[in-house]
């Protein structure tokens, strides 16, 4: 059963786990895989209500459960997370301090290192100086060295009309990774939702020049995302564009991305489309309440979280390795090996889950994504 598989991975001795997780690196000149996981972790503000402090839907336990899932996925090379509140943003909600999700993730790194055999690098660029309210920060974990980083502010209609100051900002986080298969550009974003007027028409003096006055706020953000990726990715690099897009397949936002020739990893790997009746293949809809997080029922009905893959324009020279300090290209091509959902089963590491004192059932109100590409000669 899958539960036994998960438990076996987590309980492996560190030495065995190290050998397992390092196998791809030692075979970099043959077949090199690029593995990535994506998840909106849920900041948890909506969980707290007067007289019912739920600690952001039991956030400490949820981040510990996230680490268990990452180890069960054999320590992916890259992890993209959304709604990661940083240490500087710690107001009170219902009279209780808000937990720093960044600090909780940092606290899990030693456990991950003991099992994975490497220490994840954190890419995190909070933009508290840009907007008054920042609760949807993105974060990237990378197994391999980070060569450079960047951030792009996206259009948003919530601003002070007198000063022009943003009240809330959406953005894209970028990191270029020195991966054994070659440089990989990773982009992590969280596009607008109804809470920040996603479907309102752009229009007005503040509508960016790259957008049309007929675009919605979220459609404009999708256009800006595409431009940012195309302007900053390495000319021969693999690019991975992940996040919570708050947009279903065949929406204008989705088409703006797919029309650039990027692959929807879920469909490219042969996975079936979201079935709203069963929840299979879906990522969103569980509900940001403690009751939903503690309920083992799947309760998702839309697919709005993605890992898009932008292959190198000339996909014939991946699978590089460094020998004697020199980068040596070996002819090869990236190919989609597998993809699908991540953390889409109720807590498989315990026999039961539910309300406290039982372990909780879900990491988040979202199910995440995972993808694996191989670079083959």
pLDDT of residue 17: 33
Burial tier of 20 (Cβ tally within 10 Å: 0-12, 13-18, 19+) = middle
Q: What's the mean pLDDT in 127-131?
A: 57
In a domain, 21, yes or no: no
pLDDT of residue 9: 43
What is the domain-level CATH number for residue 131? 3.60.10.10
Nearest-CA neighbor of 62 among 349, 372, 266?
Answer: 349
pLDDT tier at 25 (50, 70, 90 boundaries)? very low
What pLDDT, in 10s, does the model give residues 285-305? 999 899 999 999 999 999 999
pLDDT of residue 29: 37
Burial tier of 80 (Cβ tally within 10 Å: 0-12, 13-18, 19+) = buried
What is d(CA 363, CA 64) in angstroms, rounded to the nearest whole number?
9
Bigger pLDDT: 40 or 5? Answer: 40
In a domain, 120, yes or no: yes
Q: Is 239 helix (H, G, I), strand (E, B) or coil?
A: strand
pLDDT of residue 356: 92
Q: Is the pLDDT of residue 258 over 60?
A: yes
Element spanning 36, H or E: strand 32-40
In a domain, 125, yes or no: yes
Look up residue 187 and give its two tokens: 């982009």
Q: Is the pLDDT of residue 318 over 80?
A: no
In a domain, 260, yes or no: yes
Mean pLDDT of the chain: 84
Report the relative pairing of strands 92-93 and 131-133 from DSSP bridges: unpaired
What is d(CA 306, CA 27) in angstroms, rounded to the nearest whole number?
29
Length of the chain: 377
pLDDT tier at 129 (50, 70, 90 boundaries)? low
Look up residue 275 and give its two tokens: 């079935």
Element spanning 16, H or E: helix 14-21
Strand partners, 151: 173
Nearest-CA neighbor of 289 among 194, 361, 349?
Answer: 361
Look up residue 122 and give its two tokens: 């954190």
In a domain, 16, yes or no: no
What is d(CA 11, CA 17) in angstroms, rounded to the nearest whole number?
9
Q: What's the mean pLDDT in 165-176?
A: 87
C-alpha neighbours within 13 Å on the C-beta side of residue 355: 4
Q: Is the pLDDT of residue 278 over 90?
A: yes
Provide the number of structural domains found in the chain.
1
Q: Is the pLDDT of residue 22 over 60?
A: no
Residue that is written with structure tokens 């600090």 in the block:
103
In a domain, 130, yes or no: yes
Are residues 300 and 276 in contact, defined by beta-carbon separation less than 8 angstroms?
A: no
Q: For the chain, what is the total number of helices (H) and then of strands (E)?
A: 9, 18
Residue that is written with structure tokens 């940001």 in the block:
288
Bigger pLDDT: 57 or 95? Answer: 57
Q: Is the pLDDT of residue 26 over 50?
A: no
Q: How many beta carbons lie within 10 A of that of residue 232, not counting itself?
A: 17
Are residues 341 and 369 in contact, defined by beta-carbon separation less than 8 angstroms?
A: yes
In a domain, 323, yes or no: yes
In a domain, 11, yes or no: no
Q: Is the pLDDT of residue 312 over 50?
A: yes
Bigger pLDDT: 54 or 325? Answer: 54
Among the residue ranges 17-26, 183-192, 317-326, the one predicted with the least confidence is 17-26
Bigger pLDDT: 284 or 99? Answer: 284
What pLDDT, in 10s, does the model give residues 153-164? 999 888 766 666
C-alpha neighbours within 13 Å on the C-beta side of residue 333: 6
What is d(CA 143, CA 19) in angstroms, rounded to the nearest whole number?
15
Element spanning 369, H or E: strand 368-376
Domain that holds residue 274: 2-6+34-376
pLDDT above 90 covers a percentage of the chain that reads 64
What pLDDT, in 10s, does the model give residues 70-107? 999 999 999 999 999 875 655 555 556 778 899 999 99
Look up residue 317 and give its two tokens: 């020279």
Among the residue ranges 85-89, 166-170, 240-244, 292-296, the one predicted with the least confidence is 85-89
Q: What's the mean pLDDT in 130-139?
A: 69
Q: Is the pLDDT of residue 1 over 50?
A: no
Are residues 222 and 212 in contact, defined by beta-carbon separation less than 8 angstroms?
A: no
The DSSP result for 254-270, as a single string, is HHHHHTTT-EEHHHHTT
């Amino acid at each position: 059963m899958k539960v036994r598989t998960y438990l076996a991975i987590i309980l492996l001795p560190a030495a065995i786990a190290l050998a397992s997780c390092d196998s791809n690196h030692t075979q970099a000149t043959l077949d090199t895989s690029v593995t990535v996981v994506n998840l909106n972790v849920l900041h948890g503000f909506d969980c707290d209500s007067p007289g019912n402090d739920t600690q952001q839907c039991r956030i400490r336990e949820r981040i510990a459960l996230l680490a268990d899932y990452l180890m069960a996925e054999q320590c992916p090379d890259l992890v993209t997370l959304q709604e990661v509140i940083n240490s500087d943003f710690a107001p009170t909600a219902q009279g209780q301090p808000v937990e720093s999700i960044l600090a909780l993730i940092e606290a899990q790194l030693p456990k991950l290192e003991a099992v994975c055999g490497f220490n994840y690098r954190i890419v995190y660029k909070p933009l508290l100086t840009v907007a008054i309210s920042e609760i949807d920060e993105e974060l990237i974990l990378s197994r391999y060295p980070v060569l450079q980083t960047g951030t792009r502010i996206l259009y948003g209609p919530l601003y002070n009309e007198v000063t022009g100051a943003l009240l809330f900002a959406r953005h894209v986080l970028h990191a270029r990774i020195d991966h054994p298969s070659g440089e990989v550009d990773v982009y992590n974003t969280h596009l607008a939702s109804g809470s920040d007027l996603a479907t309102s028409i752009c229009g007005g003096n503040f509508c960016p020049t790259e957008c049309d006055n007929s675009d919605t706020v979220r459609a404009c953000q999708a256009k800006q995302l595409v431009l940012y990726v195309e302007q900053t990715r390495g000319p021969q690099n693999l690019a991975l564009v992940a996040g919570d897009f708050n947009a279903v397949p065949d929406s204008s936002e989705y088409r703006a991305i797919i029309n650039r020739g990027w692959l929807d990893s879920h469909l490219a790997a042969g996975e079936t489309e979201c079935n709203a009746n069963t929840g299979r293949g879906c990522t969103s809809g569980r509900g940001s309440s403690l009751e939903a997080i503690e309920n083992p029922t799947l309760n998702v009905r839309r697919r709005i979280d993605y890992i898009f893959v932008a292959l190198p324009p000339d996909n014939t020279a991946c699978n590089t390795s460094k020998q004697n300090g020199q980068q040596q290209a070996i002819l090869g091509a990236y190919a989609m090996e597998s993809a699908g959902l991540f953390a889409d089963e109720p807590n498989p590491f315990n026999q039961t889950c539910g309300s406290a004192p039982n372990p909780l059932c879900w990491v988040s109100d979202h199910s995440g994504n995972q993808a694996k590409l191989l670079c083959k000669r």
